[in-house]
Structure 1
């Protein structure tokens, strides 16, 4: 592996800014890594090597002072339109060439980044795993028989396998945090509305864009770029933590809708994080009651309403059976059911705010289970939905309430499927607008629980 790939995104950007590295050189190094690994890992569905090289060369002729992230490679998730490129949406119904770029792609360009292509995603992003009818599955770089989570699974694989320095994922129920936690990365779901492109969009379940990175410092750097704030989060990282309190829960609001029983390794990682947060000076207020008897129906109906919002002229026969079920279920709702769903969402948001009075941060497991094998998920819609909840019972409520959350790897465990030692993570959830504070806490937690070289990329 090229020595440049072993550097953090932060260190690569510093070399670019100091003229010790050019965008063209960095772009070529990453394209070579993609060529070497992508066929076996399924991270990218399109690689735009020549366009990337032209973009890098163009940036070298421009002033880097105009760009916060000058010359840094990235890739669009294949749910995101980029002018002149087809958008596959992980579906047989996709593939149209976009006439305009989506706001998040435009922002990446404004920041001076170099787009290397499109990363793998499940059909229209409706799944917490990355398998589809049109592309190979996204595979865990450390254990390729395992899936990478979703829906930003291709992006997470690309970052973990050093095919990208970082990635911008989208998250409407955990789609940044699930794959990041699955493959041992940092995944940040920002407060709803912190990014300009998210303020310009509307979403039933609170979809936002956020960083997927190999460490917290890189997440802060990319977040500062995406929020167009020069180094605000980055400067705060190593500062002494203020007086903070936290609660913890392994309860899931889905419990009751389905029975949630987290894996023992998941609970051990969560308990380790509770101890570590106290070791860095935070005050532990105890376990929080996070059960909710109406949450499961509420988020399920919101999810299906989102599916129902796909274009009316979309040929349903081109969708896989599970997606088609979601769309048809959402379109069957009458006005009373929609009104009840909207009211329940507002009630849940109020109740969550009321519970938050006594602490600054809530700590949960990142996932409910260890990574599952490729092909694990059923083609039966109801069973499939339940399987996804079992895997990720802690992420979706954060979207529904608009809060910021970050997943951080905190321990490792020998995977029973592969026999490989894999990272296990936790999720930190903050108050509205506390993204910078959340990054600071995650940075101190990361330093306290350094796991060493478990994320070394595959070499062939």
Structure 2
């Protein structure tokens, strides 16, 4: 990469847009810089499973012409953007990390989020890696192999949007789409040190329906909260294929500067039942103290629910079993053995088991709705542990077999459908990122992003770059 390309690849989406509008930079130059960064560093992390420079550069040239005419198409015209390989994207295969998907079928449809991006002139960079069907909290699959952490490639990037998290942290695109059904945006955001926002359920249209509905949420992954708000403005536009038809009247960028003074914030370092790594505990405690310095009223209080792990597992793995129900044994033999195992176990659940889990979900929604009549936000760690060795579902020596046992801060809010954002708040002694999670009441994505932005402005860790970029 040239020095100029390095500088361009490190710019945020909003910085790129300012330069495009001022005629100081071309979308083609931005696309070439991101493609050069991908060529240089993707082999070390495996963030992308599909790269198509011809399509990328053609879209960038179209955007360049629009800017020359003074007719930009939309909010992200010319901005290079990565797409997780679970979103239908016209012209590109959507394999979902699986060898069971027919790659030769017509690929002529955009998912709602991609369609919105296309209406706003984005430049598609490629598809990012995911575990098979997005089923776990790390990113590896029989089709694509493991995705590694940009801060230490021997560690996991997290998942299931691990490719998107690694990509944005290495400047392989300032914007990326992820999905989150149990933490799949916030886990890689925490492990990779980027911003990941899980919107209120239904705020961002999703089609086709996820196998993990009603737990699944599409959302943005970026280096800055400002870029996440920008991407939310685009992808939260309604789409008739999603029956939730979200209300998108909020301009998420416009509210970012309102700060946190006077907000009532509950700080819970462990929810009352989670064992948290000491470095993570201390970093999140410092973040809570900073919110108080910024004028918020911060209280040390737990949300008051017991761990909903069993009910989450019934809902999540029940979705996995349903996704695999029509696959024959030959196709199952091609798949991730862990996915086959959880789907087989979930297939034994009764309808009453599933309904009992839905009842607990309803009780949890009620509990958190009442909690947020007293507190505007809930602060917690994004994860209780730092990133561990790649190509593993759980850390070495972990007492449990399955991934949700080390993600206790994320999946409760997939059950409630609340907005939750992970923003970097520190680093371990080994140089691995630590994430802070901010949770708000349903439909208060604006408040969550506003608080995350205030924190990031006061503790701007997004300027710190992985050592891999120095090699």
Taking structure 1 as the reference length, the TM-score comes to: 0.90
1:221 and 1:231 in contact (8 A); partners too: no
Task: Give the Cα separation in 1 of the matches to 2:47 and 2:414.
Answer: 25
Secondary structure at the counterpart of residue 154 of structure 2: strand
1:323 aligns with 2:339: yes
Aligned to 1:4: 8
2:212 and 2:316 in contact (8 A); partners too: no
Report the alpha carbon displacement of residue 230 of structure 1 after superposing the two structures with TM: 9.0
Q: Which of 94, 98, 111 in structure 2 is aligned with 1:87? A: 94
Task: Give the Cα separation in 2 of the matches to 1:231 and 1:110.
Answer: 19
Report the alpha carbon displacement of residue 240 of structure 1 after superposing the two structures with TM: 4.3
Aligned to 2:319: 306
Task: Give the Cα separation in 1 of the matches to 2:49 and 2:399.
Answer: 28
Aligned to 1:247: 266
How many correspondences in the alignment? 447
Q: Alpha carbon RMSD of aligned pairs, Å?
A: 2.5
Report the alpha carbon displacement of residue 374 of structure 1 after superposing the two structures with TM: 1.1
After superposition, where does 1:146-157 map in structure 2 within 5 Å?
146-157=155-166
Structure 2 stretches lacking a partner, 5+ long: 238-247
Aligned to 1:292: 306
Aligned to 1:448: 458
Task: Give the Cα separation in 1 of the matches to 2:261 and 2:198.
Answer: 22
Q: Which of 39, 45, 67 in structure 1 is aligned with 2:49? A: 45
1:68 and 1:230 in contact (8 A); partners too: no
Per the alignment, do residues 165 and 78 of structure 1 end up closer, same or farther by CA in structure 2, a change over 3 Å counting?
Answer: same
After superposition, where does 1:55-70 map in structure 2 within 5 Å?
55-62=59-66, 64-70=71-77
Q: Which of 74, 83, 87 in structure 2 is aligned with 1:76? A: 83
Aligned to 1:267: 281
Report the alpha carbon displacement of residue 236 of structure 1 after superposing the two structures with TM: 1.9
Which runs of at least 4 in structure 1 moved beyond 4 Å after TM superposition?
198-203, 228-231, 382-385
Report the alpha carbon displacement of residue 383 of structure 1 after superposing the two structures with TM: 6.8
Between 1:4-13 and 1:227-236, the stretch displaced more is: 227-236
Task: Give the Cα separation in 1 of the matches to 2:152 and 2:160.
Answer: 19
2:324 and 2:343 in contact (8 A); partners too: no
After superposition, where does 1:19-418 map in structure 2 within 5 Å?
19-62=23-66, 64-96=71-103, 97=105, 98-197=107-206, 203-228=212-237, 232-241=251-260, 243-252=262-271, 255=273, 260-292=274-306, 295-310=308-323, 312-314=325-327, 315-377=331-393, 385-386=401-402, 388-415=403-430
Report the alpha carbon displacement of residue 202 of structure 1 after superposing the two structures with TM: 8.2
Report the alpha carbon displacement of residue 115 of structure 1 after superposing the two structures with TM: 0.9
Report the alpha carbon displacement of residue 41 of structure 1 after superposing the two structures with TM: 1.2
1:193 and 1:199 in contact (8 A); partners too: no
Task: Give the Cα separation in 1 of the matches to 2:372 and 2:409.
Answer: 16
Taking structure 2 as the reference length, the TM-score comes to: 0.88
Between 1:103-112 and 1:191-200, the stretch displaced more is: 191-200
1:285 and 1:359 in contact (8 A); partners too: no
Task: Give the Cα separation in 2 of the matches to 1:331 and 1:452.
Answer: 43
Task: Give the Cα separation in 2 of the matches to 1:269 and 1:325.
Answer: 36
Task: Give the Cα separation in 1 of the matches to 2:91 and 2:420.
Answer: 34
Report the alpha carbon displacement of residue 61 of structure 1 after superposing the two structures with TM: 3.9
1:142 and 1:458 in contact (8 A); partners too: no
Report the alpha carbon displacement of residue 67 of structure 1 after superposing the two structures with TM: 1.4
